[in-house]
Amino acid sequence: MRALRFSISLVFLLAFFGCEDKSDPPRMSVERYVTLLKAGNYDHRELPDFNSKDIPKLLSYRNETEIISDYPINAISSAWFPECSLGMYILWTIESIRARSIGSEFLIGTFPSQNPFVKNRNNLEYLDQTTQLQQDVADSYFEWWESNKNKDFKEFDKIDPLADTEYRWH
């Protein structure tokens, strides 16, 4: 009986302490990241450890409308969206690079906000995540990058690409 209690206690302890993810953000290429997202095989709990040098490659996927349904989300969010376009998720990944660079107050782990969706900046209402909405967000990020890419990233990382729009990340 004592051995049984010990075994049950051991299983409980392993289950309780063994589930905690103490891993650092994964390191991988942008291409590998996109391939894993498309295949539904991205199995990390955080966004990759990308930096400003990865932004041009990430931006090349900004207009992708393919729907993905298996992607990491911020664990503190009570909202759950079963699908997201690849392009919008990539734009959120770029926002993660910017948020980590400035130490954003909204940053949780590597997540720049609660979800990879934008909402109305003024009334905080959810918006239909349409192709046109994605295009507007993509255009803002592309313009932000193209206008500043020849500067040191620290000179423009505090500029919110969505500042002149009616959108903000959720």
DSSP for 90-144, please give it.
HHHHHHHHHHHHHT-TT-BTTBSSSSS-EEETTT--B----HHHHHHHHHHHHHH
Using alpha carbons, select from 107, 137, 101 the residue that is nearest to residue 119: 137
- DSSP 8-state code for residue 165: S
**The pLDDT of residue 167:** 97
Q: Which residue ranges of the chain lie beneath pLDDT 70?
A: 1-24, 78-80
Rounded Cα–Cα distance for residues 12 and 8 (Å): 6
In terms of C-beta density within 10 A (0-12 exposed, 13-18 middle, 19 or more buried), how is residue 38 classed? middle
**The pLDDT of residue 8:** 41
Rounded Cα–Cα distance for residues 79 and 82 (Å): 10
Rounded Cα–Cα distance for residues 89 and 115 (Å): 9
Domains of the chain, by residue range, sit at: 26-169
The model carries a pTM of 0.84
